Structure 1
Amino acid sequence: MEMSLLFFSQLNMCESKEKTFFKLMQGSGKEEASTESKIRAKEKRNRLSLLLQRPDFHGETETSRSAFLAKETRISPQEAQKWAESFDKLLSHRDGLNSFTRFLKTEFSEENIEFWVACEDFKKCKEPQQVILKAKAIYEKFIQNDAPKEVNLDFHTKEVIAKSITQPTLQSFDAAQSRIYQLMEQDSYKRFLKSEIYIHLIEGRPQRRTNLRRRSRSFTYNEFQDVKSDVAIWL
């Protein structure tokens, strides 16, 4: 009787040791898993921190907005008032050109001023190869059908450019640039002078972020065929 009790007592002892061993092993596994998960979590936090520090992640940071507004407020009301004298004076002033471009972006028609600026840059080309490359780039970006920033030109003007693009000259885009200039002068420029962007400038008030609104592009060059084409537009 005593021996049987001793026998079962030994079995219980073994079972207890095994249970203790498995518990220790499970605890160690859980501890390792916990440590690994902590390391992964830390790595994720580090990656997120680096991502948040990237300027392009924020789009427009508070610092960039403040810097932009500070730049805008440096334009004196007296200088801004001169832009109302003529469209030429607006475009000949760097801040005037920037302000007008920002206004066109609110109407989703910035391709007009971008084309005009591209033409101005094109006429400064010195090397024949540079003339060919830039002319092709302007044609593909602004002129050809379904161009990413196609400007509003009549069929005849586009055809003339298309035929001359293989052997372009510094005057290849003059007619198109003149027409886009007239469109902006007769349409967008007048609205710019009445816009919140311009009014804030002449009143010396800090600029506010402008809500973008899509404007119907119902106007065409045909509306301005009576405008003289020999206007001196580049002074």
Structure 2
Amino acid sequence: METSLISLTQLNMCESKEKTFFKLIHGSPKEETGKEAKIRAKEKRNRLSLLLQRPEFHGETHASRSGHEAKETRLCPEEAIRWGESFDKLLSHQAGLETFTRFLKTEFSEENIEFWMACEDFKKSTDPQQMSLKAKAIYEKFIQNDSPQEVNLDFHTKELIARSIAQPTLQSFDAAQNRVYQLMEQDSYTRFLRSDLYSDLIAGRSPRPSNLRRRSRSFTYNEFQDVKSDVSIWL
């Protein structure tokens, strides 16, 4: 009996020494797990980086496009027909505004409707500081020469806006907004009414998919609403 106890004790001691030696040579299992976890984390970051570089992450994703198409499919043709009565009726209807925006993207001219919507939001400003920040953001995105989303305006209109940016009023962008509105009404709106997108809607058909361009530092109306005390994100 004593011999058995001694043998078990010796066996455990030998096993313990072997484990200690193994740890010294190869490291502990926890250390191995930690290293493997770091490697796996690095691999995940690399995969995520590659994923974010895919074109759909810089424009509308497949899911968002499917969502838009689902909305358009549920749209009553009678509502779409009313959009053809006037450009103002199209813009006053949320679904019409979204559909027209998507149409302009296919023509690479969505900056016009985005500028118009930004001006509409700007005119709702009540706080002077907020008004100044939004005015600067609009000017640097849409008005100044070589801006990311520069709209087509004459030199005189641009100069008037540039001089008013230091102390903007709710009317600072009125002339430019009216000019862009007229351009869209006389040009883009007429092509929209002749487009396959609009024809499908008034016929009650599911809109055909369209290829949208990859967008870089694009300015959108929803993003503009998030402008708070710091406009550095637009610069």
Amino acid corresponding to residue 158 of structure 2 in structure 1: K
How far off its partner does 1:69 sit?
A: 1.9
Structure 1 segment 49-128 matched on structure 2, within 5 A: 51=48, 59=57, 63-128=63-128
Percent identity of equivalent pairs: 67
Between the aligned partners of 1:188 and 1:61, the Cα distance in structure 2 is 25
Q: Name the counterpart of 2:223.
A: none
Structure 1 residue identity aligned to 2:203:
E
Q: How many residue pairs were aligned?
A: 181
Deviations along 1:137-172, one digit per CA (max 9) or x if unpaired, are 101110011111000000110011111111110000
Secondary structure at the aligned position of 1:133 is classed as: helix
Inter-CA distance 66–110: structure 2 relative to 1 (3 Å threshold): closer
| CA 1:212–1:164: 2 relative to 1, 3 Å | same
The whole-number CA distance in structure 2 between the counterparts of 1:123 and 1:62 is 34
Q: Show the 5 A alignment for 1:56-205.
A: 59=57, 63-205=63-205
In the aligned structure 2, how far is the partner of 1:98 from the partner of 1:113? 10
Distance 1:200 1:209 in 2: 11
Q: C-alpha distance in 2, partners of 1:63/1:105?
A: 18
CA displacement, residues 161-186 of structure 1 (integer Å, 9 cap, x when unaligned): 11111111000000000000000000
Letter in 2 for 1:134: K
CA deviations over 1:62-121 (Å, ceiling 9, x no partner):
654433321111211000000000000000000000000000000100000000000000
**Secondary structure of residue in 2 paired with 1:197:** helix
Counterpart residue identity of residue 76, structure 1: C
TM-superposed CA distance for 1:47, in Å, is 3.4
> 1:47 is matched with which residue: 24, 44, 47?
44
Q: What residue identity is the alignment partner of 1:174?
A: D
Q: Any stretches of 5+ residues in structure 2 without a counterpart?
A: 1-32, 214-235
Amino acid of the structure 2 residue aligned with 1:47: K
| In structure 1, distance between residues paired with 2:141 and 2:63 | 33
Preserved contact between residue 77 and residue 204 of structure 1 (Cα < 8 Å): yes
In the alignment, what sits opposite 1:230?
none
Q: C-alpha separation between the residues in 1 aligned to 2:84 and 2:64? A: 29
Deviation of 1:211 after TM superposition, in Å, equals 3.2
Question: Larger Cα Rg: Structure 1 or Structure 2?
Answer: 1
Q: TM-score, normalised by structure 1?
A: 0.67
Q: Provide the rounded CA distance (Å) in 2 between the counterparts of 1:151 and 1:85.
A: 26
**1:88 counterpart SS class:** helix
- Name the structure 2 match of 1:218: none
Contact 1:105 1:212 in 2 (8 A): yes
Question: Which amino acid is the alignment partner of residue 149 of structure 2?
Answer: K
**Letter of the structure 1 residue corresponding to residue 177 of structure 2:** Q
Q: Distance in 1 between matches of 2:139 and 2:62?
A: 38
Alpha-carbon distance in structure 2 between the residues aligned to 1:137 and 1:65: 28
Could you tell me the TM-score, scaled by structure 2's length? Answer: 0.67
